[in-house]
Structure 1
Amino acid sequence: MVQKFKENWQISRNWQLIFPLLGLIGLGYSSFKLATLIFNNQITITLVIAAVIFYILLKLTLIIFEKLEKKWAVNYRWELISIFLVFATTGSSSMFVSRPLIKMMGINKENLPTFAYWVLYIVIGFIFYQILLVLIGWIFGQYKFFWDFEKKMLRRFGFKCFAD
């Protein structure tokens, strides 16, 4: 069973199993959190709902993997999991990093109009997202993918200095 799993995800070394394991743990955690939003008080029903959500999200994720495997140039299927983990980690990390910076700059809802505060919050978060995307991609062994992804995104925003 493990050998078939390794073959399906093109895993050649045991350390690569960390990516499917982290993916399943993240998917399980997300499923449980969604289930607690629906049935917070009853643990048995919550666990059953979490299992159903887990199954649905797993099937959806595998469909997305099939489509993205063709679109993104990856050498191995397990790299898709690594890429998804980078996107997930970067999204929450950028807000985690930018929140204290915004406070240090003295930006808050009391001294700015609400619209201006949220625009600045999103812009600063977006800047840190771009930096962290490449950094966390490097940590997960996907530097080339995310640097190319970053250059493509910056070109779309009109930064012609990243043209190949």
Structure 2
Amino acid sequence: MSWIKKLQEKWGLKSLFQVVIVLIVFACTGFTVLFIREPILNLITGGGEKEWWMTVIYILLILPIYNVILLCYGFLFGQFAFFWKYEQKMLRRFGIKVNADKE
């Protein structure tokens, strides 16, 4: 069984095309976070020298930003429902109650 078929089963997707779209959304989100890293760090540091603790602040800031970007790309690529379920699952793992039916 191919790895794409395994992902299709694991994620409960209907087609291999949908798996490819989901992977594209994850890739676009990752690239976007990569491109906004420097401006965010410059905002935190004021354009000065970057200390190690600023990276920690960046990581704490980027977690919610990543999730919002993921949902936006999911919407643009027509996979919002999948990514909304994905986000709800992640929030439950962090102990945050979500107003949705558990699967």
Q: Which TM-score band (shorter chain)?
A: 0.7 to 0.9
Structure-2 change in CA distance of 1:86 and 1:113 (3 Å): same
Check conservation: 1:86, 1:140, Cα contact below 8 A.
Answer: yes
Match of 2:12 among 49, 61, 73: 73
Q: Which has the higher contact order (CA 8 A, sep 6+)?
A: 2
Unpaired runs of at least 5, structure 1: 1-61
Unpaired runs of at least 5, structure 2: none
Compute the displacement of 1:95 (Å).
Answer: 2.9
1:124 equivalent in alignment to 2:61:
yes
RMSD: 2.2
Alpha-carbon distance between aligned partners in 2 of 1:78 and 1:84, rounded to the nearest angstrom: 10
Alpha-carbon distance between aligned partners in 2 of 1:113 and 1:94, rounded to the nearest angstrom: 20
* TM-score of the aligned structures, taking structure 1 as reference length: 0.54
Alpha-carbon distance between aligned partners in 1 of 2:59 and 2:46, rounded to the nearest angstrom: 13
1:64 equivalent in alignment to 2:64:
no
Compute the displacement of 1:123 (Å).
Answer: 1.9
Residue of structure 2 equivalent to 1:83:
22
* Structure 1 moving runs of 4+ over 6 Å: none
Figure out how many residues of one structure are paired with residues of the other and give that number.
Answer: 101
Match of 1:145 among 74, 82, 86: 82
Compute the displacement of 1:142 (Å).
Answer: 0.4
Report the AA paired with residue 81 of structure 2: K
* TM-score of the aligned structures, taking structure 2 as reference length: 0.82
Q: Does the residue aligned with 2:98 lie in a helix, a strand or coil?
A: helix
Check conservation: 2:33, 2:66, Cα contact below 8 A.
Answer: yes
Compute the displacement of 1:147 (Å).
Answer: 0.6
Rg larger for: 1
Greater fraction helix:
1
